Amino acid sequence: MRAVRGLAAALLIAWIGTAQAQLFGGDDQARRRIEQVRTEVLLNLQQIEERMKTLEATAVERRAILDLAGQLDALRTDLAQSRGQIEVLVHQMEVAEKRQKDLYVDIDTRLRRLEQAAEQQATAGARPPADAGPSDEEKRAYESALNQFKVGNYSAAIDLLGQLLAKYPNGKLAPNAQYWIGMGYSGRRDYRNAITALQKVVAQWPLDPKAADAMLSIASAQEAMGDVKSAQATLQDVLAKYPGSTAADQARLRLQQSVRR
């Protein structure tokens, strides 16, 4: 830009010098020529100045564009870095959520195990041990019912034993209570209900000692009803199911006696 301005100034000086030389020659035509040249030089200078301004503006715009391009590149770099950081954070969040879920599942599993253990302990604590005997209340109720049976009050005995079973369905004396209900019906000569009650002992407590006694009493009720064949079959079942019991010895003796008859 400075070189262009210097060149324009040199041209202007040259023209002015030529014009002055002609002017001192006293030629009017030379004066007009000088004015014309001066005008042309001024126009040229004005055009040069405008071009210079345009070039300067273009240069500024170019610098601005370059600056903007640099800023855009910097923004792209920052954006890429931000995206990378976001991806890292998202991955960390996913890992944290997974760990949290795994922790919740582990805690829930442990809590359920503890709850189940607590329930089992509570259930075990609520029930008496397997080798524990009947409670005092259960004993008193059972003895009261047997006292009614002993004096021949079979109906009262059946009612009291039924109440005992309703209150202690899994009590230690439940098989005995059900057995004596059957015997109470036999005492009333109600053999059908007696057989039904005694069959419950065999069905519900087959491993209890009273089960063999119940089968022996069923045979007696069948004989009392005149069903000798069924009675003998029941005695055979006693021998087969409870061979080492006292009831089996009695069943064997009764079978032998029936053969002798």
Q: What single-letter DSSP state applies at residue 127?
A: S
- Residue 84 CB neighbour total at 10 angstroms: 10
* pLDDT number for residue 25: 47
- Of 163, 166, 194, 168, the C-alpha closest to 180 is 194
Q: How many CA atoms lie within 13 A of 9 on its CB side?
A: 6
The mean pLDDT of 169-180, rounded to a whole number, is 94
Q: How high is the pLDDT of residue 109? A: 44
Alpha carbon of 178 to those of 23, 59, 159, 234, 244: distances in Å? Answer: 158, 116, 11, 19, 23
pLDDT in tens, 149-174: 888 899 999 999 999 999 999 999 99
Q: pLDDT digit string (tens) for 16-58? A: 555 554 444 456 776 676 777 778 777 777 777 787 778 777 8
Higher local confidence (pLDDT), 60 or 257: 257
Give the DSSP H/E element, type plus range, for residue 249: helix 246-260
pLDDT bin (cut points 50, 70, 90) of residue 9 is low
Share of residues in the chain with pLDDT > 70 (%): 70
- Which of the 8 DSSP states describes residue 170? T
Which pLDDT value is given to residue 100?
Answer: 43
Residue 121 is predicted with a pLDDT of: 53
Instruction: Tell me the two tokens of residue 189.
Output: 């000569």
> In the CATH hierarchy, which fold is given to the domain comprising 138-260?
1.25.40
Provide CB contacts within 8 A for 239, sequence distance 6+: 248, 251, 252, 255
Query: What's this model's pTM, rounded to 2 decimal places?
Result: 0.51
Give the lowest-confidence range in 24-28, 69-73, 168-172, 218-222. Answer: 24-28
Q: What pLDDT shows up at residue 261?
A: 64
pLDDT recorded at residue 83? 72
Alpha helix ranges (H) inside the chain? 2-24, 28-126, 136-150, 154-167, 174-187, 191-204, 209-224, 228-241, 246-260
Residue ranges covered by each domain of the chain: 2-87, 138-260
How would DSSP label each residue in 92-117? HHHHHHHHHHHHHHHHHHHHHHHHHH
